């Protein structure tokens, strides 16, 4: 079943799951998907505003050109999402402890997000940006960070020798997060 151009507001999908199928150009406002099973559902050009996704099952979910604004993904595991045409952007989302490892997130925008302890291991984050996002203890290991933009990001710290950095952008103040692993003193 394909649902087109619909708006869903203040819905709770905890006990009653979202209908299977596809959702194109739909908007979800203040919906609660906590502990829901969204497996096999495809979202194309959809927007989620102030939705809650705690402990949601995302197995083989398709997120194709999807925007998340003010959503809560505390501890969510994106690693089993469908990689086919995967494209997501996040604005003012709470994503602490989320798992995003091994995903191709080229060009993803993370704007003003809380991303403490997010695991990005083995991600392709080419041309992604982290404007005003808190990356405290976020894990970047074996990532492709080519042309990624960390200039406005906060509290990041990772070993540049364990990631691919080409034309990656950093602010002068933020570059100290790249040196912290080396246990050196900079005055």
- The answer to whether residues 110 and 35 belong to one domain is no
- Given a cut of 90, is residue 187 above it in pLDDT? no
For residues 52 and 44, give the distance between their C-alpha atoms in angstroms, rounded to a whole number.
Answer: 19
Residues 58 and 99 in one domain: no
Apex CA 128: angle with CA 124 and CA 130, to 5°?
125
Q: Which ranges constitute the DSSP H helices of the chain?
A: 176-179
pLDDT tens, position by position, 60-70: 999 999 999 99
Structural domain harbouring 102:
95-187
Domains contained in the chain, number:
2
Q: Tell me: the pLDDT tens digits for 127-166?
A: 999 999 999 999 999 999 999 999 999 999 999 999 999 9
Q: What is the pTM of this model?
A: 0.92
Neighbours of 71 (CB within 10 A): 23
Residue 12: count of CB within 10 angstroms of its CB: 13
**Residue 81 is inside which H or E element, if any?**
none
Q: State residue 185's pLDDT score.
A: 63
Q: For residues 29 and 104, state if they share a domain.
A: no
CA distance 153 to 91: 13
* CATH number, domain with residue 53: 2.160.20.80
């Amino acid at each position: 079943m394909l649902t087109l151009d619909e708006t869903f507001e203040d819905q709770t999908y905890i006990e009653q799951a979202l209908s299977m199928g596809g959702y194109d150009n739909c908007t979800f406002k203040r919906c609660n998907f906590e502990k829901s099973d969204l497996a096999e559902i495809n979202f194309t050009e959809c927007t989620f505003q102030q939705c809650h996704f705690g402990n949601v099952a995302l197995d083989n979910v398709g997120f194709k050109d999807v925007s998340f604004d003010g959503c809560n993904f505390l501890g969510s595991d994106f690693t089993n999402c469908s990689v086919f045409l995967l494209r997501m952007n996040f604005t003012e989302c709470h994503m602490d402890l989320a798992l995003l490892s091994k995903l191709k997130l080229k060009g993803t925008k993370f704007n003003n997000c809380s991303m403490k302890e997010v695991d990005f291991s083995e991600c392709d984050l080419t041309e992604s940006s982290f404007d005003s996002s808190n990356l405290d203890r976020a894990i970047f290991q074996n990532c492709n960070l080519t042309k990624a933009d960390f200039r406005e990001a906060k509290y990041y710290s990772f070993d540049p020798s364990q990631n691919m950095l080409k034309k990656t952008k950093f602010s002068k103040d933020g570059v100290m997060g790249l040196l912290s692993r080396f246990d050196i003193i900079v005055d």
